[in-house]
């Protein structure tokens, strides 16, 4: 009797590893609910307002972009490891950087640091075309496969050193960098269209997230918030 009571208690509390609560926790419905809570508590509550962006964050299944064993944590308020010593950024940072690009749906965007492909997918929901560069071949292969499986038709991905940008396809209306250089790479400024926006973390250990705007005759730079990104790697010649 005592044993049955304890067992019942454990199942009710959702702590029994094979109980109904554990099964429900990894169902699509459970992930959808976690995603809704993520958008409400981590994104909208912190002041992100763009309705197209909030919709995209509700639509894109973040749990598909993390390794299987950390799927239960996919909607937590933090970056997570994705292999190769790299991370998928915190959901709020993905949202903030996307909002800073002020996308309307007609733009061509360049992303440096594909990583898991999650930020790429969010951009693909918001812009006309997304060009993305990842320096680490295994991550580029993995995210390329996933983005194809998810049926994104407006993404072009290549492996390479994003410091150099993608000159053949420039200029870009928006450029987003998800790894941190110590200084803004000059090729990225050159490849930014007039009226375009560059969102980039700049610095060594801690960085400033910067919004750079290019107008006809000048470059305007604004510091947004302090952030911590993985460093920008360089390809050896």
Ligand X SMILES: C[S@@+](CC[C@H](N)C(=O)[O-])C[C@H]1O[C@@H](n2cnc3c(N)ncnc32)[C@H](O)[C@@H]1O
Least Å from the CB of residue 125 to ligand X: 13
Residue 169 known to be catalytic: no
Choice between 21 and 211, CB closer to ligand X:
211
Least Å from the CB of residue 3 to ligand X: 46
Long-range contacts of 79-88, Cβ-Cβ distance < 8 Å, separation of 24 or more? 82/115, 82/116, 82/139, 83/138, 83/139, 83/142, 84/136, 84/138, 84/139, 85/230, 86/115, 86/136, 86/139, 86/230, 87/115, 87/230, 88/62, 88/115, 88/116, 88/118
- Partnered with residue 132 across adjacent β-strands are 111, 157
Residue 20 contacts residue 11 (beta carbons within 8 Å): yes
Choice between 113 and 144, CB closer to ligand X:
113
Distance CA(147)–CA(5), nearest Å, equals 48
- Partnered with residue 213 across adjacent β-strands are 197, 220
Residue 200 phi/psi, 5° resolution? -155, 135
Q: What single DSSP character describes residue 15?
A: -
Choice between 82 and 175, CB closer to ligand X:
82
Least Å from the CB of residue 34 to ligand X: 17
Distance CA(86)–CA(44), nearest Å, equals 27
Least Å from the CB of residue 18 to ligand X: 32
Residue 205 contacts residue 185 (beta carbons within 8 Å): no
* Active-site entry in 26, 27, 73, 89: 89
Residue 42 contacts residue 94 (beta carbons within 8 Å): no
Residues forming contacts to ligand X in the complex (CB under 6 A) are 82, 86-89, 112-113, 115-116, 118-119, 133-136, 139, 161-163, 178-179, 229-230, 232-234
Choice between 193 and 233, CB closer to ligand X:
233
Least Å from the CB of residue 162 to ligand X: 3
Choice between 22 and 136, CB closer to ligand X:
136
User: Where in the sequence numbering do the catalytic residues fall?
Assistant: 89
């Amino acid at each position: 009797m005592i044993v049955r009571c304890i067992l019942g208690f454990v199942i009710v509390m959702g702590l029994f590893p094979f109980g109904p609560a554990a099964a429900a926790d990894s169902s699509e419905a459970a992930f959808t609910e976690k995603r809704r809570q993520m958008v409400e508590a981590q994104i909208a509550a912190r002041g992100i307002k763009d309705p197209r962006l909030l919709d995209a964050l509700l639509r894109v299944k973040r749990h598909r972009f993390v390794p299987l064993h950390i799927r239960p944590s996919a909607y937590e308020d933090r970056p997570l490891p994705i292999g190769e010593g790299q991370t998928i950024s915190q959901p709020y940072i993905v949202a903030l950087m996307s909002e800073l690009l002020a996308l309307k749906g007609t733009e061509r965007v360049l992303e440096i640091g594909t990583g898991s492909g999650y930020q790429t997918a969010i951009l693909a929901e918001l812009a006309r075309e997304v060009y993305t560069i990842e320096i680490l071949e295994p991550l580029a292969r993995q995210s390329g496969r996933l983005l194809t499986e998810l049926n994104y038709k407006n993404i072009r991905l290549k492996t390479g050193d994003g410091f150099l940008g993608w000159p053949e396809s420039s200029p870009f209306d928006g450029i987003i960098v998800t790894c941190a250089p110590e200084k803004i790479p000059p090729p990225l400024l050159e490849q930014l269209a007039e009226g375009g926006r560059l969102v980039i973390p700049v610095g060594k250990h801690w960085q400033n997230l910067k919004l750079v705007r290019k107008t006809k005759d000048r470059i305007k730079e604004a510091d947004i918030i302090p952030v911590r990104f993985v460093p920008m790697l360089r390809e050896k010649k």
